Chains A and B, each alone.
Chain A
Amino acid sequence: MANRINTKLKEDGKLLSIYFTAGYPKLADTVEIIQQLEKNGVDMIEIGLPFSDPLADGPTIQQSSTAALKNGMTTEILFNQLKDIRKSVSIPLIIMGYFNPMFQYGVEAFCKKCQEIGIDGLIIPDLPVDVYHEEYQEMFEKYGLINVFLITPQTSDERIRFIDSVSNGFIYMVSSASVTGAQSGFGDEQQTYFHRIADMKLDNPQIVGFGISNSETFEQATKSAKGAIIGSAFIKHLNGHGVDGISAFTKTIR
């Protein structure tokens, strides 16, 4: 069976992907949030596995992670919450988390569990492409998981080519040199970067993340990229409106 991420990427149109932190606002919200997002036309979901020390994240995701851990979220609980998710949800699901919790769970056991549940891919910001390639790629592929790597405006062409060669889904294009967090718009610098990457004609499509917060930034980001990921802005919305406000949020994006 083809991976749901690859199938989705072949569809026409731009993809909207949403990140949320599992266990936030409430421990048991996970399944409801995923179902609501699919119902409201989101194309792909990143389920954040909370970590005590999320060093690539800005204040919004940090706070949601701290809150989720306080609510009692663990890797085991998340897997339990997701065990029947494929009975009700068919869009691609990605787990995004830091390497240490996966390492403690056992990387192979983690991958196996993901396959059982129907998780399609992983994003692990602090597992560098070199280490992945040498130590984990075979294992991920054995369990049908797509691993997604980040690139930034500072990433050299040579390294982007390497990342492209190791990737088999999409490339997560970080919009600017920054941690996660909503910003108000993209300047010339970002446009230049977006064009530079588009001109490289990579094998893997790109999805832009970091700093996408509304329809305007979504539009800008997806002009040359295949899609965009919204994280902090969605979490802020959840914080104010709870799970019931999800349709109101997605309507503001497209």
Chain B
Amino acid sequence: MKTYQADEKGYYGEFGGAFIPEMLYPNTEELRQNYIRIMQEPSFKEEFDQLLKDYVGRPTPLYFADRLSKKYNTKIYLKREDLCHTGAHKVNNTIGQILMAKKLGKNRIIAETGAGQHGVATATVCALMGIECIVYMGEIDIARQAPNVARMKMLGAEVRPALSGSRTLKDATNEAIRDWINNPVDTHYIIGSVVGPHPYPDMVARFQSVISEEIKWQLKEKEGRENPDYVVACVGGGSNAAGAYYHYLDNPDVGIIAVEAAGKGIDTGESAATSALGKVGIIHGSKTLLMQTGDGQITEPYSISAGLDYPGVGPMHANLFTSGRGEFISITDDDAMNAGLLLSKMEGIIPAIESSHALAILECRKFKPEDIVVINLSGRGDKDLNNYIEYFNL
């Protein structure tokens, strides 16, 4: 059977692999050899499940959005990742990886962050475990995301500015990788999405797969069936999407819809819609689709949502796109902002702007009245309040 999961070498179709300098080989090799074994250890599973339950607050509700369903004349369920501790799905992964790091005997954690959500989720689990935490963040993002910088500091993390290149997320990732090259023995790098060299995309997807694992039994309870007609998620690097799709990837009855950020519009030069604008290449150790010049230089994406402006997508998503398994839609800043406002007014839920992109497809993609559409609400809007205030003159 054709599978959309990673193969042994970390390939999803032609995408993935580990295109890393030799200096990183021992680090990723140690992880590669151990991650599946560790994740399957009963003691690991037990601690992971316990923390997801008592600390993160899982299972997160699968909420039937009644008013929204009426408006769009279809059955809409929201998977409430916004109710996770720290406000987004990111913490599912950081809990998993901090436990992994402990099993591997690491005593120093590094991470990259763009908007600061993954940085906060990493700083949080490091505080929980009493482990040293260094978060790389682009100098420009540090200025744009002051509240999250303050959160990380309160949680005891050191926030190091990435001063190279365009001084945003991709450069913060480069800095974290350089740190790992310089500290190959005691340090674990907690990547924040399903990107980077093998085994990261697969490992992060497995940690996030709890999302679709829950959707299955929750939907069974509510609708008497495990499979929705569609699962919808926004894609930055693609971790919340990977988690929401995971247990449905190889089930052709379930439609997969991936929503990317069009920014100001795909043709404006200010966009982050990788599937539309990207070409195959290598970014951060992975062969995938990425936005680049004709000369192979990686370009800077744009979106109003800081969590979606990554110039690539994880290799799983590149494969979902090119194979046609996934339907890819891109949503502009304006449409996302309006969808965020609409959800707030109609359901009393203020979503993260990333998640607003997923919601916005309801305006442009028709569903049948009997369709069950699960939208992954990856995060809450607290962090985006300033953006909403400015945009709507609140």
Residue of A nearest to B295 (CB): A74
CA distance A69 to B22 in the complex (A): 25
**Contact, CB under 8 Å: B295 / A177:** no
Q: Which residues of B contact A103 (CB under 8 A)?
A: 280-282, 296
A182 to chain B, nearest CB (A): 14
**Contact, CB under 8 Å: A128 / B296:** no
Contacts of A95-148 to chain B: CB distance below 8 A: 98-105, 125-129, 131
Q: Could you say which of A13-21, A151-159, A194-202 contacts chain B? A: A151-159
* Residue B144, interface by CB 8 Å: no
**Contact, CB under 8 Å: B182 / A178:** yes
CA distance A100 to B281 in the complex (A): 6
Q: Which residues of A contact B174 (CB under 8 A)?
A: 53-55
Contact with A along B322-346 (1 / 0, CB 8 A): 0000000000000000000000000
* Residue A242, interface by CB 8 Å: no
Q: How many residues of B contact A (CB 8 A)?
A: 35
Q: Which of A53, A66, A75 contacts B298 (CB 8 A)?
A: A53
Q: Which of B19, B182, B292 contacts A128 (CB 8 A)?
A: B19
**Contact, CB under 8 Å: B164 / A62:** yes
Q: Which residues of A contact B296 (CB under 8 A)?
A: 51, 75, 100-105
* Residue A238, interface by CB 8 Å: no
CA distance A145 to B384 in the complex (A): 52
Q: How many residues of A contact B (CB 8 A)?
A: 42
CA distance A196 to B20 in the complex (A): 24
A56-B23 contact in complex given A66-B164, A177-B182, C-beta closer than 8 Å:
yes
Contacts of A44-103 to chain B: CB distance below 8 A: 51-59, 62-63, 66, 69, 74-76, 98-103
**Contact, CB under 8 Å: A100 / B23:** no
* Residue A150, interface by CB 8 Å: yes
* Residue B25, interface by CB 8 Å: yes
Considering residues A55, A152, A156, A177, which has the most beta carbons from chain B within 10 angstroms of its beta carbon? Answer: A55
B181 to chain A, nearest CB (A): 5
Q: Which residues of A contact B26 (CB under 8 A)?
A: 152, 154-156
Residue of B nearest to A156 (CB): B26
Q: Which residues of B contact A62 (CB under 8 A)?
A: 164-165
CA distance A156 to B18 in the complex (A): 18
Q: Which residues of A contact B171 (CB under 8 A)?
A: 53
* Residue A174, interface by CB 8 Å: yes
A56-B21 contact in complex given A62-B165, A100-B298, C-beta closer than 8 Å:
yes
Contact with A along B249-265 (1 / 0, CB 8 A): 00000000000000000
B144 to chain A, nearest CB (A): 21
**Contact, CB under 8 Å: A53 / B19:** no
* Residue A234, interface by CB 8 Å: no
* Residue A218, interface by CB 8 Å: no
A125-B21 contact in complex given A100-B281, A179-B178, C-beta closer than 8 Å:
yes
**Contact, CB under 8 Å: B21 / A52:** no
**Contact, CB under 8 Å: A52 / B165:** yes
Q: Which residues of B contact A155 (CB under 8 A)?
A: 22, 25-26
CA distance A156 to B259 in the complex (A): 43
* Residue B317, interface by CB 8 Å: no
* Residue A149, interface by CB 8 Å: yes
**Contact, CB under 8 Å: A126 / B181:** no
A55-B177 contact in complex given A69-B297, A100-B298, A177-B184, C-beta closer than 8 Å:
yes
Q: Which of A98, A154, A156 contacts B184 (CB 8 A)?
A: A154
**Contact, CB under 8 Å: A58 / B178:** yes
CA distance A74 to B171 in the complex (A): 21
Q: Which residues of A contact B106 (CB under 8 A)?
A: none
A198 to chain B, nearest CB (A): 19
**Contact, CB under 8 Å: A159 / B25:** yes
CA distance A149 to B22 in the complex (A): 8
CA distance A150 to B23 in the complex (A): 8
B175 to chain A, nearest CB (A): 9
CA distance A155 to B299 in the complex (A): 33
CA distance A152 to B23 in the complex (A): 6
Contact with A along B25-36 (1 / 0, CB 8 A): 110000000000
CA distance A55 to B180 in the complex (A): 11
Q: Which residues of A contact B285 (CB under 8 A)?
A: 126
Considering residues A52, A74, A104, which has the most beta carbons from chain B within 10 angstroms of its beta carbon? Answer: A52
* Residue B279, interface by CB 8 Å: yes
Q: Which residues of B contact A100 (CB under 8 A)?
A: 281-283, 292, 296, 298
A101-B297 contact in complex given A128-B22, A152-B23, A154-B184, C-beta closer than 8 Å:
yes
Residue of B nearest to A54 (CB): B174
CA distance A128 to B263 in the complex (A): 35
B289 to chain A, nearest CB (A): 12
Q: Which residues of B contact A128 (CB under 8 A)?
A: 18-20, 22, 25
For this complex, 22 residue pairs linking A to B, each with C-beta atoms less than 8 Å apart, are: A52-B298, A53-B170, A53-B174, A55-B21, A57-B178, A66-B165, A99-B282, A100-B282, A100-B296, A103-B282, A104-B279, A104-B292, A128-B19, A128-B20, A129-B22, A150-B22, A152-B23, A152-B26, A154-B185, A155-B25, A159-B25, A174-B22
The 6 closest A-B pairs by CB, nearest first: A104-B296, A101-B296, A52-B297, A150-B22, A56-B21, A125-B21
- With contacts A51-B297, A52-B165, A129-B22 known, what are 6 further pairs, Cβ within 8 A? A53-B283, A56-B21, A100-B283, A104-B281, A174-B23, A177-B183
